[in-house]
Structure 1
């Protein structure tokens, strides 16, 4: 079972949800929440999306864009 359902990522702050939407990362956040056996990189991204700063979330969006 994913960590989300075990309660690790409940109560994501509203501001983080807004930043996820602002930088186009909301779908990734939801996908990571329901993914089992996350890689260390995925776990790091999920942690930032859940409780990181706006600048950290913006940087995730930039790295995602650079990978395309």
Structure 2
């Protein structure tokens, strides 16, 4: 996961990590584990993040599937 790109998308969407966790219906600690690569986002979470952050398919690929 590209954390820098995620942060840019988060800032552009003007949303906090706490709000993202709430909208994903997960605990903030769970979001941080996913953000730090300790666990993976589910497909449904990725779809929700795409909508929440207003991401294109290319954005999703760049943020979540980059090395």
TM-score (norm 2): 0.36
- Structure with more contact order per residue of length (Cα contacts < 8 Å, sep ≥ 6): 2
Larger Rg: 1
TM-score (norm 1): 0.35
